[in-house]
Chain A
Amino acid sequence: MSLTLEQVKRIAHLARIETSDAEALSTQGHLNGIFQLIEQMQAVDTSGIEPMAHAQDLGQRLRDDAVSEADRRAAYQSVAPETEAGLYLVPKVIE
């Protein structure tokens, strides 16, 4: 398998990482090297093997639907690039 330049650009767009043509080209070389390594997996017959997502066989814990945390909005928003009146500011989405 080998990724085309167009595929690299499309993946970069899906990942929301702006990528110039020159960057895409060097990234393409690196990614194809890495996928060559990854391709070793394809030779293995894994039919009937249960996929392992996790090291521990755990259920999702539930908790009571009750307030458990103090209000620390001001502290958490103090690290945001731009806020106003308790809201995160981003460029206008709806005209």
Chain B
Amino acid sequence: MIHASLKELSQALAAKKISSVELSTLFLDRIERLNPDLNAFVTVDREKSLAMARAADARIAAGTAGPLTGIPVAQKDIFCAEGWTTTCGSKMLANFVSPYDATVIRKMHAEAGLVSLGKTNMDEFAMGSSNETSYFGPVKNPWDRARVPGGSSGGSAAAVAARLAPAATGTDTGGSIRQPAALCNLTGLKPTYGVVSRYGMIAFASSLDQGGPMAASAEDCALLLNTMVGFDERDSTSLDRPAEDYARDLDKPLNGLRIGLPKEFFGEGCDAEVMAAVRAAIAEYEKLGATCVEVSLPNSHLSVPAYYVIAPAEASSNLSRFDGVRYGYRAPEYGNLDDMYMKSRAQGFGAEVKRRILIGTYVLSHGYYDAYYLQAQRIRRLIANDFVEAFKQCDVIIGPTSPSTAFKLGEKAADPVQMYLSDIYTIAVNLAGLPGMSIPCGFAGGLPVGLQLIGNYFAENQLLNVAHRYQQATDWHARRPEAIA
């Protein structure tokens, strides 16, 4: 049962082969046994989870259940959930018990009837690519416990990879769903900006942040995404679009699919074994009826520099709310009001978060705004335009998700720039606001390799279709780490 797909779990629940309480208990027991070593969850509350499971069982018995009612999932600890400690991986919010639900949480709980198993570890305020900036300690990669699971949704990735949960939520500002999915052999989807509500999702860089599903397959992601999306008047950038069934197109044949291969993603800078796995996946797509065309994203090398202006600028503004007044950490000793702010923020934020706040403060400060912030926004336009041009020649863009497999814990922690460059293939997608996925496509040195699929705006259905057909033809996504049984 722990390896079952969401569809199989849904059928088992509907046929009363298992109750939600039994299913949730199975996963809660696994968390209790395996989490002390993996550190994938930061908060588990068995009673709360089982209360949700009992409510789900009642819905199933009453015949009012939705397709995923009663299925347990893990929630990234960036989503506020009423009555649950919601830390965002930070000392600043270590004791914050949310008084309200994020829209995503409300939809998953109240509407879909999913059961939350707990809150997963993450890089502090989602700022990191290895989960090492968490105040609650690093997460171990279930494929090799000396290695990182990726970040910032590292806890969600490790939880699903080790089957501590059938699926999980993540968020992606510069690659935080796709990169950990790649490093842990999962399927992860970052939707088009505006498709999933940001209300109650603790803000990092508001023009880039987007929530999405992380699971074992494209089909699981499609089913979970169905429960997460929808217009939300509480999010000023939420898009009002007709309802979609993201499982609708999964089985469409890929005959005639035009795959764009950006030459910038196939040059230097990517591990050779990773590249070999990516090329083998492209050959598989050709067998499935797709044709490949070389495209160019000539400004993609500027995505990391532009991102490290725009994201910190937005973060410095968003994180100014943490001042020790209305919620979060307040220093135990201080003098005047200013001293209270200074000490609370100095003690409550970790080193990487402080660095990004400082970068953001600087690039927005008088005399530097034009040279940095405006220049970065102009480059953002160039990067987005590159995609517009590329999508004139192809339906979907394919390349590596990450330039390497999972690196060792501590390997890049001392050098922020090296860490930033691990998101070199994912960041441009956020800057343009496009949907992107990572799917398993093989192994290098025994570690998972992720294939990135980038779609045009609102092409989630097509991306899921392209991912699903590949997963029908290959079994990379079904491989599990040996040590987790």
Contacts and interface: CB of A to CB of B under 8 A. Distances in A.
Interface of A: 3, 7-8, 11-19, 27, 30-31, 33-42, 44, 46, 49-56, 58, 60-61, 63, 72, 75-76, 78-82, 88, 90-93
B120 interface: no
Nearest to B414: A30
Contact of A55 (B99, B304, B305, B384): B384
B94 to A, nearest CB: 12
Given A17-B342, A18-B345, 19 more contacts: A30-B355, A31-B359, A31-B362, A33-B417, A38-B305, A39-B305, A41-B372, A41-B376, A42-B375, A46-B379, A49-B378, A49-B381, A55-B207, A55-B432, A56-B194, A60-B236, A88-B325, A88-B326, A93-B336
Nearest to B307: A38
A16 B323 contact: yes
Contacts, number: 167
Main secondary structure of the interface of A (DSSP, over half): loop
Interface residues of B, number: 72
A7 B477 CA distance: 49
Interface of B: 96-100, 193-194, 207-208, 233, 236-237, 239, 299, 301-302, 304-306, 308-309, 316, 320, 323-330, 334-343, 345-346, 349, 354-355, 357-359, 361-362, 365, 371-372, 374-382, 384, 415-417, 420, 431-434
Closest 9 CB pairs of A and B: A55-B433, A51-B377, A46-B378, A81-B330, A18-B346, A52-B381, A18-B342, A55-B193, A75-B99
Contact of A52 (B301, B325, B342, B378): B378
Given A55-B193, A93-B337, A41 B306 contact: yes
A58 B240 CA distance: 11
B334 A91 contact: yes
30 contacts: A15-B345, A15-B358, A17-B342, A17-B354, A27-B354, A27-B355, A33-B416, A34-B417, A35-B359, A37-B420, A39-B305, A40-B302, A42-B375, A44-B299, A51-B374, A51-B377, A51-B381, A54-B207, A55-B193, A55-B208, A56-B237, A56-B239, A61-B236, A76-B326, A79-B97, A79-B99, A80-B326, A88-B326, A91-B340, A92-B336
